[in-house]
Structure 1
């Protein structure tokens, strides 16, 4: 089971993206726990929950360096979701990006 955390600022688009990613994972036969959390809650959850990859919504890309520092000791890859994929709510492309970052 892969755990994919998406970090957002305002959650409506991100929750739609999570739904599309879950559907894409089901179609691909990938077991994944995919969820979104606000940037203010992400740090605390990173300390409590095992996470394989951290994807940032384009609106919080300025926080990438901060999250890279927080995840460095845990070897959790951090990447900003492509703005086009995010805007189109392309769950398959974002899922594939996450899986590539994990090494799948």
Structure 2
């Protein structure tokens, strides 16, 4: 599974990506996760199975959903994002994909 996280500059989500990958490794979940600026979603979105937006770019949700109507696109829960809770975010993605 390929998960794309997008935020303002791609920087604030990098810690969350690390925590998600740590949890995936611990649970032996085969997943690729990348973070990129929202402006690059057109380049990286086609390869993603799921696109998650950082809360600071939630205003882009409808635009990104319209560009990728066949993919799940959601805003990361503000609390989980603020706590950088990679486990919760990854578990949410796994539930989305069931």
RMSD: 1.0
Is the CA contact (8 Å cut-off) linking 1:25 and 1:32 kept in structure 2?
Answer: yes
> For residues 97 and 52 of structure 2, what CA distance do their matches in structure 1 show?
11
Aligned residue pair count: 98
Q: Deviations over 1:20-75 (max 9, x none)?
A: 0000111111000001010111112224xx21100000000000000110111xx2
5+ residue gaps in structure 1?
none
Structure 2 match to 1:90:
85
Distance 1:58 1:8 in 2: 8
What are the residue-to-residue correspondences of 1:11-90 with 2, within 5 Å? 11-47=10-46, 50-72=47-69, 75-90=70-85
Matches of 2:15 and 2:49, distance apart in 1: 21
TM, length-normalised to structure 1: 0.89
Q: Which runs of 5+ in 2 are unaligned?
A: none
**TM-score normalised by structure 2 residue count:** 0.94
* Contact 1:10–1:38 (Cα < 8 Å) also in 2: yes
* Equivalent residues of 2:9, 2:36 under 8 A apart: no
Secondary structure in structure 2 of the residue aligned to 1:12: coil
